[in-house]
Amino acid sequence: MTATALPTVSGAAARIVGLDLARFVAIVGMMGGHLQLGAGPAWTDVPFSGFPSTLFAVLGGISAVLATRAYTERGEHLAAAVSLAARGLVVAAIGALLSLTPTFVIVVLVYFGVGLILLAPLLRLPIPAQAAMAAVLAGGGPVLNVTVRDALGNPDPEHIDLRSPLHAAASVLFTGTYPVVTWLVYLLVGVILGRLVVGAVADGRTRIVALRIAIVGAVVAAAAGIADAVAGRTEPVTQGDGAPLGTGWRFFADASTHTGSLGDLARTGGVACLVVGLLILATARLDRRHTLPEILRPLAAAGAAPLTLYSAHVLVTAVAPVGGTLVYLLTVLGAVGVGAVLLATRRRGPLERLVSAAARTAGNGVRRIA
């Protein structure tokens, strides 16, 4: 499927409930990584270590397809690209502001926003070209990552280096905890999934496509796990700071999270595809307004406001920098409460409205000029 052949989706199909639930899983998982990690036995850390942020990034790629679909369907590819770039710029700006707070959370939004900006001109590429680019970045990105870090003297990955524009760019692209060279792989995977899902909904093949996505994700994740075992890692949870833990084939295959190694990309990306596929499959016949179970509606509504929830979470950690299981459970309940309020008032999250307005203004501005 090429970008010019992207099918039309309208009506109830325009809101895919499974994706909202997947966003909720990603957000509460990231919250758990900040609040719950290390609070229990090592094996309990696995679900919170790396997988939620990867799911968040893959869903970001899917959302990029959905957010620009109206432009793409009309063949307005420049407007689509500018709209997505504007969306990324606003997200990065929000991330920069959150980074100024005294939070212990390493804010992902600057990296995520820059990733969306770089993704914008790639939306129009055919799926095989996007897949090839993701493969090249997955293979070469870890090497480039380590090389740049070594050349810059291994700077602090938790903070963006503001000594110069060049240092800042290097921090965001390569040396940060969530380097764009890694996240762009996940975003491209998400774009491919988004295009496949949109096509499946339009053709009435949602369940079969979702099942295939889940199966492929499971196979890729399993293969990465086997390669990881062969590489010799024995600890259940080992985290990096955005780069492979060493050099050589062993660290290339190592699936330790937050390392950006090929093993990490394959395992976490595969699990993200598995989660997305299963949730779309499980909810393919549901319409939120009529058949979605009552207990799931606040979760889906909360998942539809991931930027608002994430930003609120960061602000809360800045005011009350505490963690633990009880705090995490209260935070999850708070997220569900936000979803319930949004559901009752039939409103979107405030930051989602802000970002959408900026993207729409930019995209429509290009349309008027063209």
pLDDT value, residue 2: 34
Nearest Cα neighbor of 279 from 57, 59, 69, 131 is: 59
Phi, then psi, of 239 in degrees rounded to 5: -115, 145
Domain boundaries, the chain: 3-369
Please say whether the beta carbons of 247 and 142 come within 8 A: no
Position with higher pLDDT, 1 vs 144: 144
In eight-state DSSP terms, residue 8 is: P
326 pLDDT exceeds 60? yes
d(CA 238, CA 245): 10
pLDDT level of residue 4 (50, 70, 90 thresholds): very low
- CA angle centred on 180, ends 33 and 220, rounded to 5°: 70
Tell me the two tokens of residue 79.
């407007």
pLDDT value, residue 242: 87
Which residues lie below 8 Å from residue 99, measured CB to CB, with a gap of 6+?
Answer: 107, 110, 160
Which residues lie below 8 Å from residue 88, measured CB to CB, with a gap of 6+?
Answer: 112, 113, 114, 115, 116, 117, 119, 120
Q: Worst-scoring range by mean pLDDT, 160-174, 180-194, 240-254, 331-345?
A: 240-254
pLDDT in tens, 239-251: 788 888 877 777 7
DSSP symbols for 318-368: HHS---SHHHHHHHHHHHHHHHHHHHHHT---HHHHHHHHHHHHHHHHHHH
pLDDT in tens, 203-240: 889 999 999 999 999 999 999 989 888 876 545 556 78
pLDDT value, residue 238: 65
pLDDT value, residue 237: 56
d(CA 174, CA 181): 6
d(CA 304, CA 21): 8
Averaged confidence pLDDT in the chain: 89
pLDDT level of residue 11 (50, 70, 90 thresholds): very low
239 DSSP β-pair partners = 257
pLDDT in tens, 50-95: 899 999 999 999 999 999 999 999 999 999 999 999 999 999 999 9
Please say whether the beta carbons of 230 and 204 come within 8 A: no
Q: What would the mean pLDDT of 29-50 be, rounded to a whole number?
A: 83
Share of the chain above pLDDT 70, in %: 93
pLDDT in tens, 261-306: 999 999 999 999 999 999 999 998 875 445 788 889 999 999 999 9
108 pLDDT exceeds 50? yes
pLDDT in tens, 123-163: 999 999 999 999 999 999 999 998 999 999 889 898 898 88
pLDDT value, residue 8: 35
Phi, then psi, of 257 in degrees rounded to 5: -70, 155
pLDDT level of residue 9 (50, 70, 90 thresholds): very low
d(CA 292, CA 18): 11
107 pLDDT exceeds 80? yes
Nearest Cα neighbor of 49 from 267, 364, 231, 196 is: 267
In eight-state DSSP terms, residue 212 is: H
pLDDT level of residue 12 (50, 70, 90 thresholds): very low
pLDDT value, residue 293: 87
How many contiguous H segments (helices) and E segments (strands) does the chain have?
A: 15, 0
96 pLDDT exceeds 60? yes
